[in-house]
Amino acid sequence: MSVVRPARPSWAPLLLAVAAGFVQADDSSPAPVRLDALEVVDHEESEVDVAAAQAERARKQTASFGPLGERRLLDTPYSMNVVPRDLIEDQQVKSVKDIIRYIPSVQGDGARPQTRGLQGSVVQNSRIDGLNVVSTTEYPAEQFDNIQVMNGLAGSLYGPANPAGTFNYVSKRPTGFTRNRVTMGAGTGLSWLKAADLSGPLDDGGRIRYRVNLLDDQEQTFVSDGKIRRQLGSLALDFQLGERSVIEVTGSRYNYLSRGLPGKFALASGVSLPHALDPTKKNLGQSYAGDDNETSTVDVHFKHDFDGNWKLDLGALRQIADRESTAVTNTLINGKGNYRTTVSTATASRFTINSYLANLNGRVRTGFLSHDLTFGLSGFSWKNYNPVDGGTQTVGSGNLADPAEFAEPNYPDFTDRYRSAATTQSSLIFGDTLTFSPQWSLMVTGSWSRMTSASYSKTAGRTGDSVDKGWSSAGSLMYKPIDDMTLYLTYADSMQQGDTAPTGSANVGTVLSPFRSRQWEVGGKLALGGVRLSLAAFQIKRPFAYTQEDGVFAVAGEQRNRGVEFMVDGHLTTNLRMFGGVSWLDPKLLDTASAATEDQRIVGLPRITANLLTEYSLPQLPGFTVNLNARHVGRRPTDNTNDNWVGAYSTFDAGARYTTKMWARSTVYRLEVTNLTDRHYWTNIVPGGLNGYSGAGNASADLGRPRMFQASVQVDL
């Protein structure tokens, strides 16, 4: 029998009531200035002033580099991309997964985000405000100010992690002026969006500031019996203790519910994926099946600037992520379109995370050398809880020519759980950037880490455990021929937790010894006018574990990913802005026990991925901007012997916005149409095992979304 939660009330009346109460709060508060779109904020701004502001932004944009603190993107020897708040708003993006798709080196359609063709872990690669969080739950775009993605290995900065990059979601912070922003929207399938973003000081001196974000989004979506519900409540408070100290508190609760969307498609041995299906076709999923995720997060930071040079950041986070996963998988059992539909409820239904950090940064001189020193502490405690009565059930069989509707199975009580695993990690971090001259510098970073893991049975008996220690390190040589250009060479190695033997293996549940990944990267960054350009070439090697012929899951190969990435971000002219680029990837499986898989492409990874968002502000119509986003993904193998492939696809999104004033209130109208040509395509193709290579080598895939539209009106009250 299905588990039914009490219905959650619509927040629309609350949003409108709160907004109305603030209409007269501060009639004289200044309108916010959009640094990336000054040409539409002030129509009287000269073109020279706008160009100068755009160039300044390209030169000075910063990002958080963990214990290194905020650093200018141009001054770092890492491939780093920031998706800014205005891009997220103007494209009307709704989820973090959709945000990171604008970066071509990122594969973000799956359960765990990844860069450079390497999948992240559940916890180690994802962070909110620098603190570890669960990656396998949903996060709303409305919760964050920007998304920062650092490609490749980062173990020397954050502690052991998969070589899949670091994803840092930066929360919205309170503003120093009163702003009450309300957004109303509608879209495909009669979706209705209501959101409020309210911010400002609570006292006359502005020493206590708040920011409230509320969201209620109800969608009938593109499937006749499908629906999505998104509800968010978040509060951020800043307490200014003095000129040099601040306490930042952020809390959020987000519920994401989906029902009736197309299920995942898996392949039996020897079967290949057909041409992509129409995702609007009924019964590719089941009306009762989907996900119900509820994620609660609280984090606190204490930040102190001692003397304008030495700075301290202490942070802690607590997160509880509950999920009821009832989504179905349709396994294709032959080439005639016959499939078997199953639902698995044995996976974790609760994650709990306690994470922390302590970073101290400052500059000292020793003779002619300048040292930017970093001392850090980072870690987390993570527990998994699985349903006691969870399992896998077959709900029926059908054919793709006429997908069937099946009776709803009996689901377990997702709140009746047992602790299935516990993991801890702690790292001591040290870094020094030695500047020899204005042109030459050397960055060295390292972390010493301790990792523990344990697994448990339903009767609380311990079924496995491990304790491991080790170093992760990195070194980078940087050369700056001019201030706005950096050339660099970086070597990094990183520990990561060993993979866990999957279901079906002879040693199921066994955690392998830690892996060590290694990376070489050479690159360059340049600010040219209002645009920032970056180019990087890399090679990553990591051990590869898979289930062998004797049924034992063990390391018996190596994954080697080589690639080149190019990115552009900024204004080519005062009216033309671009964000995106192209990634070329050569992911290979080497030193395997089978000649059939030796030197073959990794399942699901394309050679070429490109994504370019272009915006153009019409000078003839001040305030009016049009945009076009083009995305291309190359063909991908669906088995480890590379006998079967899925073809390449391209999609196009287009939209427009108009910024004006209505009754002296800043107002933005937006319209966005995604997948203009209504292309049917397969996305998120992954091997049968989440760790990469599996013994059977069978892939699973999801269907891309059809053509959809979203319109909204945003008003600053």
- In DSSP terms, 331 is beta-bridged to 266, 340
Average pLDDT over residues 83-109: 93
Q: Angle at CA 225, nearest 5°, toward 224 and 226?
A: 95
Measure the CA–CA gap between 215 and 239, rounded to whole angstroms.
25
Q: What's phi and psi for 73, nearest 5 deg?
A: -55, -35
Q: Which two tokens stand for residue 50?
A: 């706008």
Q: What is the Cα Rg of the chain in Å?
A: 25
- For residues 691 and 118, give the distance between their C-alpha atoms in angstroms, rounded to a whole number: 9
Residue 655's DSSP bridge partners are 627, 672
Query: Which residues does 79 contact at the CB level (< 8 Å), separation at least 6?
Result: 105, 150, 151, 152, 521, 523, 534, 536, 538, 565, 567
**Does 70 score more than 90 pLDDT?**
yes
pLDDT range class, residue 191, cuts 50, 70, 90: confident
Q: How confident is the model at residue 592 (pLDDT cuts 50, 70, 90)?
A: confident
The type of residue at 195 is A
- pLDDT at residue 442, rounded to an integer: 98
What would the mean pLDDT of 222-236 be, rounded to a whole number? Answer: 94
Give pLDDT, residue 513. Answer: 79
**Do the beta carbons of residue 547 and residue 553 sit within 8 Å?**
yes
110 or 657, higher pLDDT: 657
Amino acid present at 399: N
Which pLDDT score, from 0 to 100, does residue 668 have?
A: 97
Q: Rounded to 5 degrees, what are φ and ψ at 88?
A: -60, -45
pLDDT band at 603 (very low <50, low <70, confident <90, very high): confident
Instruction: List CB contacts of 394: < 8 A, sequence separation 6 or more.
Output: 340, 341, 342
Q: How far from 173 is each of 14, 38, 97, 297, CA to CA, in Å?
A: 22, 21, 22, 15
Q: Where residue 109 falls among pLDDT bands split at 50, 70, 90?
A: confident
**pLDDT-based confidence at 692, cuts 50/70/90?**
very low
- What is the pLDDT, as a whole number, of residue 32? 34
**Nearest residue to 688 (alpha-carbon basis) of 566, 543, 547, 556:** 547
The neighbour count for residue 190, using CB atoms within 10 Å, is 10
User: Percent of the chain beyond pLDDT 70?
Assistant: 91
Q: What is the mean pLDDT of residues 598-615?
A: 92
User: Rounded to an integer, what distance in angstroms lies between the CA atom of residue 234 and that of residue 353?
Assistant: 18
Q: Is 365 left (phi over 0), alpha (psi -120 to 50) or beta?
A: beta
- The per-residue pLDDT for 630 is 98
Average pLDDT value for the chain:
89
Selected residue with higher pLDDT from 663 and 111: 663
pLDDT digit string (tens) for 306-360? 999 999 999 999 999 999 999 999 999 999 999 999 998 988 999 999 999 999 9
Sign of the CA dihedral 130, 136, 141, 143?
A: negative
- 200-209, 368-377, 398-407, 455-464: least confidently modelled range: 455-464
For the stretch 674-691, pLDDT in tens is 999 999 999 988 876 443
> What's the pLDDT tens digit per position in 232-269?
999 999 999 999 999 999 999 999 999 999 999 998 88
Confidence category of residue 45, pLDDT binned at 50, 70, 90: low
Residue 279: HSE in the Cβ half-sphere, 13 Å Cα cutoff: 24
pLDDT at residue 690 in the model: 41
CB contact at 8 A, 334 and 170: no
Q: How many CA atoms lie within 13 A of 717 on its CB side?
A: 20
Residue 664 per-residue DSSP state? T
Per-residue model confidence (pLDDT) at position 508:
67
So what's the pLDDT on residue 506? 76
User: Worst-scoring range by mean pLDDT, 43-52, 85-94, 420-429?
Assistant: 43-52
Residue 12 has pLDDT above 50, yes or no: no
pLDDT digit string, tens, across residues 531-554: 999 999 999 999 887 777 777 878
Of residues 704 and 513, more confidence is placed in: 704
Task: State the residue for tokens 């920062």.
Answer: 148
At 155, is the secondary structure helix, strand, or coil?
helix
Asked whether the predicted pLDDT for residue 34 surpasses 70, the reply is no
| Sheet with strand 131-132: strands edge to edge | 80-83, 144-150, 166-171, 126-128, 131-132
Whether the CB-CB separation of 195 and 230 falls below 8 Å is answered with no
**Is a pLDDT exceeding 60 seen at residue 139?**
yes
Q: What is the pLDDT of residue 5?
A: 44
| pLDDT of 246 | 97
- At position 369, the amino acid (one-letter code) is L
How much is the pLDDT for 504? 61
415 has pLDDT over 90: yes
- When pLDDT is averaged across residues 423-440 and rounded to a whole number, the result is 96
Q: Is the pLDDT of residue 361 over 70?
A: yes
The CATH number given to 42-716 is: 2.40.170.20
Contact 240, 304 (CB under 8 A): no
**For 640-652, how does the pLDDT look when each residue is reduced to its tens digit (9 = 90+)?**
888 899 999 999 9
